[in-house]
Amino acid sequence: MPPQQIPNNAVRQVLILGTILFLGVVLFRHLQSFLPAFLGAYTLYVLLRKWMFILESRKKIEQGAGCRYTHAAFFSHHSAALFYCGGYAGQKNILCPAA
């Protein structure tokens, strides 16, 4: 009984899949420090998406201006909350009712 050969196409497919997986692991390990920034940006997108559609459709505001407006409102709101409550959840502050 002659030894069976593996077809060349199967060998190529396995090598390409292995290369893709290896590059994916290397990219993930090197870009792992950027993952929190990506997740934060995606969270902002999800939170502000509804308001962007409202500004564009009902108020007839351009997309860029609406984006600047929603981000400025979001960051000023959260900055005021941090300033009002002292900045950290562990700190005691008389002015902040939640602390």
Query: How far, in Å, CA of 76 to CA of 95, rounded?
Result: 19
> Is 95 part of any domain?
no
> Is 17 part of any domain?
yes
> Is 94 part of any domain?
no
Helices 63-85 and 35-57: crossing angle, nearest 10°?
A: 120
> Is 3 part of any domain?
no
The pLDDT assigned to 94 comes to 58
Print the domain residue range for 27: 9-85
pTM: 0.52
> Is 34 part of any domain?
yes
The per-residue pLDDT of the chain, averaged, comes to 84
pLDDT digits (tens, 9 = 90+) for 33-77: 898 898 988 998 898 899 888 888 998 889 888 888 888 988 888
Structurally, the chain folds into a number of domains equal to 1
> Is 61 part of any domain?
yes
> Is 30 part of any domain?
yes
> Is 97 part of any domain?
no
| Upper half-sphere CA count for residue 51 (Cβ side, 13 Å) | 15
